[in-house]
Amino acid sequence: MLNLSHRNIPIAIIGGGIHGCAVASRILREIPSAANHVVILDRNPQPLLAWRRKTESQGMAFLRSPAVHHIGSDSLGLVEYARTQNRTAELAPPYSQPSVDLFLDFSFHEIETQQLGQLYHQFDVAKLRWDKGSGKFPFRIISKVNEGFRAACVILAIGTDDCTHVPSELDLFIRRFPKLILHSSAFDLHKTIQRVTPSKIVILGGGLTAATLAKNLTDIDVEVVMIVRRSLKIQQFDFEPSWLGPKALNRFSKESDWDKRRKMVRQARGEGSVTPEIAEALTKARSDGKLHLRTGVNIRQIDGDSFLQVKTAESTINDVDLVVLATGFRFDLHRYRFLSDLTEQHKIRTLRGLPILDNRLQLLPVRNLFGSGVMAQLEIGPAAGNIAGISLAYERMREKVLAAIPKPHSGYKHR
């Protein structure tokens, strides 16, 4: 792996998660010689590590999405891989959802086949600058250890990890009990159980993270009280699959009011939902008396000392070891400090933290700076942050991104 310092690199992808790796994989499938012209930067030492840790810390066994959505560009690639490895039993009915292990093994197979490891650099981006008019490589990317290089085109694939969402009414309690009230991103099922054996945990949230944690904790005999603001919504996917088709997407892109688009995304995704399989496990845990479900209520007060007392409008839950806030993430561009000078200097438009991108996913007026993943939701719609959103995003930025690769190169044809 070459040192990046002082080099001029055509394409820099910030984020080596599913989106970043998938975009790199697609570029290389189209132009294999582009390997010398693309880098993937991530603060973690290995690709996909952030996502792998999240699934492990929740004890998630299967993906929610079907096997056709993965980091490669051939939709049947994962199913074919499962077949050749004799692992089709790891494709769950009814939609062939892959096990997390199978998904990761296939992802690493794709990373190896495409030699993406050679493009991958552990590099924690501390600053991104755009020096307009400074030639072919206007971006300057600087790491936390002051390593720096220039790029012609930058793709932001930074996920939402820096944007944990905690309802503001709970701030006070978190400050009072920082070790006993955790956001789910800071909760590790295995480590918590190793350190202490909690006997009662309150989980706030009604999405798949909350439900998966509740299932896995009750499986090891922890008593769980799940507090859900609304009723528990049961559905297979995060959003209706029609959001991947032209009809819904055309309707979405015809909407010129950004706030209406934001609301369409919110409405399509709701406030989180639970798959039928996990819902069934929760029903069993309830009938075994290990899980108590409180719906239509919110936490009003938390008191305590070494144990907590959690109050809702309806009841008080005593002797609580831990409160886990499975309250999700809300993307906010302003929370990414490495982008703050750039967004301020070039007045990048946002709506409630979401960047307003052009139809090529550029953060105008900065040209050739693209946003992929959750941050592209005002253009891509409800699927933006999911694995299925990768192909939709790549199609939008493809032509401009590939144009950054020095010619001559073979294989790439303008569509």
Q: Where along the sequence are the contacts to ligand FAD (CB under 6 A)?
A: 14-20, 41-44, 50-51, 54-55, 58, 60, 63-65, 69, 124-125, 157-159, 161, 338, 373, 385-388
For 15, 180, 211, 360, the CA distances from 46, given in Å and listed in that order, are 11, 31, 28, 29
Q: Which is nearer to ligand FAD, 159 or 381 (CB)?
A: 159
Q: Which is nearer to ligand FAD, 45 or 135 (CB)?
A: 45
Q: Which is nearer to ligand FAD, 64 or 290 (CB)?
A: 64
Crossing angle for the helix pair 208-219 and 276-287, nearest 10 degrees?
A: 40
Q: Which is nearer to ligand FAD, 69 or 294 (CB)?
A: 69
Pairing of strands 181-183, 322-325: parallel
Alpha-carbon gap, residue 222 to 325, rounded angstroms: 17
Which single residue brings its beta carbon nearest to ligand FAD? 17
And the tokens for 143?
């790491």
| Of 192, 42, 66, residue with least CA distance to 119 | 42
- State the nearest-atom distance from the C-beta of 212 to ligand FAD, in Å: 8
Cα-Cα-Cα-Cα torsion 205, 210, 215, 219, nearest 10 degrees, comes to -100
- State the nearest-atom distance from the C-beta of 374 to ligand FAD, in Å: 6
- State the nearest-atom distance from the C-beta of 133 to ligand FAD, in Å: 25
* 106 close to 70: Cβ distance less than 8 angstroms: yes
Q: Which is nearer to ligand FAD, 59 or 138 (CB)?
A: 59
E-strand spans in 101-238?
Answer: 120-122, 125-130, 139-143, 148-156, 181-183, 200-204, 223-228
- State the nearest-atom distance from the C-beta of 185 to ligand FAD, in Å: 8
And the tokens for 253?
């892109």
- State the nearest-atom distance from the C-beta of 197 to ligand FAD, in Å: 24
- State the nearest-atom distance from the C-beta of 158 to ligand FAD, in Å: 4
* 116 close to 47: Cβ distance less than 8 angstroms: yes
- State the nearest-atom distance from the C-beta of 21 to ligand FAD, in Å: 8
Q: Which is nearer to ligand FAD, 55 or 343 (CB)?
A: 55
For 61, 183, 230, 330, the CA distances from 324, given in Å and listed in that order, are 20, 6, 17, 17
Q: Which is nearer to ligand FAD, 148 or 304 (CB)?
A: 148
